[in-house]
Structure 1
Amino acid sequence: MQLIDKLKWRYATKKFDASKKVSQQNINLIKEAVQLSASSYGLQPFKVLEITNPTLREELKPLSWDQTQITDASHLFVFCNHIEVSDKDVDDLIQLKSDINQVAIDKISGYGDFVKTKLKEKTAVEMFHWTAKQTYIALSSAINACAELKIDCSPMEGFEPDAYNKKLGLKEKGLNACVLFAVGYRHDADMAQNSKKVRKPMDTIFEEI
């Protein structure tokens, strides 16, 4: 299985070569992997911001523990989770299902009602954490896509979410900065690439019951 070999190759890159850029074709493939990622109910309660403005990236660096990946990576993405999911979000999903599968709305409206009912059972805090979990599933698809393409990446929780939210005006959009994702190519001076991958043994992770 080629993916296993690629996952053994990848690591969380600490230092990127700022002179090397990922092609737009490969960036589009990574984005498509995120788009196709698994998501509960198919709702995809997240949005991904691609930070292309160099000045903005410089301004975000001190809000990210001054980590160089923010400015040196070829591309920087901010994975944002929705703060809440509304009935309209569910209605939009049902309409999309209707359009793509060419099925009448009334044939699938019951599913939409079911989803609305289940979501209303969540408190605001539960909703926030649920959408964050969905966002991380999408992030994992991006990580795997990068591994498949042999493109380096670094998922990053080392930043100040509230400061990002304020800087990017996310709360007003109903979004929260959940996790960062830097994409590019490793620098020769990145010592982390020389370390062996450390993972728990299979029999520690998996248990038959």
Structure 2
Amino acid sequence: MSIIESLNWRYATKKFDASRTLPDAKIQVLKEAFNLTALSYGLQTLKLVVIADRTARERLVEVAYGQRQVADASHLFVLCIQSEIDANDIDSHFQTVKQIRNTPDEILEPFKAQLKSTIDSMPEIKKLDWASRQAYIALGNLMTVCAVEEIDSCPMEGFIPGKLDEILKLNEKGLKSVLLLPVGYRAEDDMFAELKKVRKSLSETVIEL
């Protein structure tokens, strides 16, 4: 399929085929895609929690307001942000840049100092909001890759983050959940799969200057 055909094929899957499991190769593609997401400043302050075990996911249905996708999909992806973002993250990033690109310190140091100043000046609530916005970029990237790979998915904001974090003990890992993305294969009897997409015309959504 062309990319546009793939995006037309994609829909927010309401019912997954619980008898089917994505092959490891497909899950690996999605992991790589997540890791390659373009993020602000190049800082990777996101984590992707991948849950395959269905028993573990059954425990999450209640905190997802009864939405069966989290348990019936092949895998559940939980997009998380770090609870704290500080100078250590910046130092680690620039150390990686130096190792991979062999960039001299005299080039890196001014950018590193500027970024530290920017992050340090952010109130904590703004840091978390900024990091959460990065999670949405990663979500969009994952959904597009899913469409190209013919993997069904359903982006979900409808869950109780605090309770999910408690169940998965994410706080012990210094993480906060932001978004859920069940992935797998659509059920044959998902009535929403065959519905036509409802979108405004390009003339209504695109402005050319």
Q: TM-score, structure 1 length as denominator?
A: 0.95
Structure 1 distance, partners of 2:125, 2:63, is 24
Report Cα offsets for 1:139-175 as digits up to 9, x if no partner: 1111111100111111111111111121122234331
Counterpart Cα distance in 1 of 2:130 and 2:90: 15
Q: Return 5+ residue gaps in structure 1 as ranges.
A: none
Question: 2:201 aligns to what?
Answer: 201
Query: Aligned residue pairs: how many?
Result: 209
8 A contact 1:94–1:105 mirrored in 2: no
Written as runs of structure 1 = structure 2, the 5 A alignment for 1:45-194 is: 45-194=45-194
Give the TM-score normalised by structure 2.
Answer: 0.95
AA partner of residue 29 (structure 2): L
Match of 2:10 in 1: 10
Identity of matched residues, %: 39
Amino acid at match of 1:111: F
When the two chains are superposed, the root-mean-square deviation of aligned CA atoms in Å is 1.4
Q: Which ranges in structure 2 are unaligned for 5 or more consecutive residues?
A: none
Query: How many Å apart are 1:201 and its aligned residue?
Result: 2.1
Instruction: Note the C-alpha offset of 1:187.
Output: 0.2
Q: CA deviation at 1:11?
A: 0.2
1:156–1:179 Cα contact (<8 Å) kept: yes
Checking the alignment, whether the CA contact within 8 Å between 1:14 and 1:190 is kept in structure 2 is yes
- Matching residue's letter, 2:184: G
Q: String of CA shifts for 1:184-205, please: whole Å, max 9, x gaps.
A: 0000110111211112222222
SS in 2 for 1:156: coil
Q: Is the 8 A contact 2:37 2:141 kept in 1?
A: yes
